[in-house]
Structure 1
Amino acid sequence: MAQLNVGIIGVGSIATHRHIPEYQLLEDVNIVAYCDIVQERASEYAEQFGGKSYDNYKALLQDDSIDAVSICTPNYLHAEIAIEALTAGKHVLCEKPMATTIEDAERMIEAATNSGKQLMIAQNQRFTEAHELARETLSQGKLGKIYSFKTTFGHAGPESWSVDGANSWFFDKRRAFIGAMGDLGVHKIDLMHYLLNETFTEVGAMIETSEKEGTVDDNAVFILKTKSGAIGTMSAAWVYKGEEDNSTIIYGEKGILKLNTDSEFNYIFIDEEGNKEAYKLGKIQTNDAQTSTGTIERFIEAIQGGQPVPVDGQDGLASLNVIVKALQSAQEKKVVKI
């Protein structure tokens, strides 16, 4: 395979824990540029691993040798940088949520179409082994008709995760747009789209700022309905103390599927008679256990193989749309059609 040159835009925690080390695992990828508004962060990685450092992403995008970029910036910059990168002829892997408005997300999709370059959204939960097996199980009809589900992603908050701690942009509504819903909830929305192979048609939401300082949400629960009539809940929170919860349960006419609910077996199927199938598969990523997500590998494989990325702009838009409608639901205190 031909070598691909990559630039990292935003050298914060998601870049240093996920993007940079996962690119470094690939033999046919070189990270040749690092950019951060705090240039010392970019310079540290450039000096350690080689490459150039920038404090302005526009200068990085002028480098014609760069084939692709990872956008790991605060949410409000995703669309602006992605559109400029695509227009400059770069493939783009953008962190979630892909944008802060539906209009910006649509502009990103249009830029990808016009440029002929790939736009992938970093929804990494699709790529865990338990979720991939669950998708196969569900598509084969092992659970029969799906009746309901519960999916949850919660921990104590990004203070210990973010490079800026309690002063992180995560808590600034202007830069983040949303809090736990954008950090965690959008992952679970995308996951349910993937597992159920359909999108949601209605949402009712309760959204709170229960503990964190600032004006972004830290505790949200959605009730969701699919076109086929499955109803369930999604919880996203930065207020879960003592233990992270990153689990999904799906209820069907032929049994129950439990994903990441057990510390040992992260795929459990229980049929109508109570018979159990349990498998130990690859662990899901947590703030404490930084296993490889597979996201970067899939992004590079798509570029090199000339194939569509597995999570494209339309997928990112579908998840963002649920979040936007949930905000409307909470404000208007009623169920909203999507």
Structure 2
Amino acid sequence: MILNIAVIGCGSIAKYRHLPEYAQNKHVNIAAVCDIVGERAEKAALQYDAKAYTDYKELLKSEKIDAVSVCLPNYLHAPVSIDALNAGVHVLCEKPMATSEEEADKMIEAAERNGKKLMIGHNQRFVASHQKAKELIESGAIGKIYSFRTAFGHGGPEGWSADGKDSWFFQKDKAFIGAMGDLGVHKADLIRYLLQDEFVEVGAFVETSAKEGTDVDDNAALILKSKKGTIGTLAASWAYTAKEDNSTIIYGEKAMLRLEDDPAYSLVAQYANGEVVKYELGAIQSNDEGGQTTTHVIDHFIESIQNDTTPLINGEEGKKSLAIILGALESVQTKRIYSLEKL
């Protein structure tokens, strides 16, 4: 079965991830693309032999579409996803899924009401080193998990976004949050996935210190506590100017796991008995590599539609990861540890 796909938003995430990965999937026909910048839409349409639109509502009304990717500024994720779901279309939405818990609930409700898939584009779960680490943790080889630290940072979206320094990423009314929404929510989702545990408390410090002329965060540090009592830190930054950091360290009773921390080995297991196991599992996707690596997000989304299965990161999962970021904002505003159990 060939699925007709549309991509709404033709910026960098669509250009380097969604469109080429849809094109590589033999079960997909890219039928339409949409961007308010007409030239951008036309260029993508020409490259993928699709029809160009500047109004997504017109696209949904005119085209026979099975599914869409929503690759838009954060404040548009919920309304556009809901419109697509109400039009009877499956939705893959970029992260963060929404700007509030209420928006997330409306997206989930729309998917359920219309019997359509809603998947959130958290790609960290599909990284080989992360999946292997989850296997080791589940097998008991690491023992009880005591702590963790996870970080995601680079020099900022101006080097990645289609609009550079003028990008919506730096405009609070469109982005809602900065590095936490761009990068931190990925790591919130990852650590939940690895530990198979939910977080109950968060304390945070959030600053705008590296980027001038913006009021969104560019440096964030979170302290998290899980239901099982595991504590750890999460950092998100647009100020890692020399090199991207996408590493995670898990500290366990029997071993320490170093993920994406060693330049040669994507996973290093250091056991308490002195044994060290190094895994070569392939490179993590990076902004620098464009289409040389795959996120596996697109293929998983298409498979979930074809097989009528629940996507690994459905709306509920996306909401739980978003809740950590929302809780961090509350912690900053109140200058208190924030309880996530009320979300």
Bin for the TM-score computed over the shorter chain? over 0.9
Which residue of 1 is the match for residue 107 of structure 2? Answer: 108
Q: Report the count of equivalent residues.
A: 337
Matches of 2:63 and 2:114, distance apart in 1: 15
Which residue of 2 is the match for residue 278 of structure 1? Answer: 278
Matches of 1:12 and 1:122, distance apart in 2: 15
Matches of 1:192 and 1:228, distance apart in 2: 13
- Which residue identity is paired with 1:302? S
After TM superposition, the runs of 4+ consecutive aligned structure 1 residues lying more than 3 A away are none
Matches of 2:335 and 2:275, distance apart in 1: 42
- The alpha-carbon deviation at position 64 of structure 1 amounts to 4.9
Question: What secondary structure does 2:91 align onto?
Answer: strand
Which residue of 2 is the match for residue 320 of structure 1? Answer: 322
Which residue of 2 is the match for residue 224 of structure 1? Answer: 224
Matches of 2:186 and 2:314, distance apart in 1: 14
Which residue of 2 is the match for residue 310 of structure 1? Answer: 312
Question: What secondary structure does 1:96 align onto?
Answer: coil
Matches of 1:17 and 1:272, distance apart in 2: 41
Which residue of 2 is the match for residue 293 of structure 1? Answer: 295
Matches of 2:244 and 2:220, distance apart in 1: 15
- Structure 1: give runs of 5+ residues left out of the alignment: none
Deviations 1:93-145 (A, max 9, x none): 00000000110000000000001000000000000100111111111111111
TM alignment of 1:85-234, pairs within 5 A:
85-212=84-211, 213-234=213-234
Matches of 2:207 and 2:45, distance apart in 1: 41
Please say which of residues 149-158 and 62-71 is displaced more in the overlay.
62-71
Matches of 1:140 and 1:89, distance apart in 2: 41
- Which residue identity is paired with 2:301? F
Matches of 1:286 and 1:329, distance apart in 2: 31
Matches of 1:146 and 1:195, distance apart in 2: 11
The question of 1:45 aligning with 2:44 is answered yes
Percent sequence identity is 55
Matches of 1:51 and 1:244, distance apart in 2: 34
TM-score calculated relative to the size of structure 2 = 0.97
Deviations 1:308-331 (A, max 9, x none): 111000111001111111001011
Deviations 1:66-105 (A, max 9, x none): 1000000000000000001001000000000000011000
Matches of 1:51 and 1:252, distance apart in 2: 50
Matches of 2:286 and 2:47, distance apart in 1: 26
- The alpha-carbon deviation at position 63 of structure 1 amounts to 3.4
Matches of 1:301 and 1:334, distance apart in 2: 43
- Which residue identity is paired with 2:330? Q
- The alpha-carbon deviation at position 4 of structure 1 amounts to 0.3
Matches of 1:48 and 1:127, distance apart in 2: 27
- Which residue identity is paired with 1:321? A
- Which residue identity is paired with 2:102? E
Question: What secondary structure does 1:8 align onto?
Answer: strand
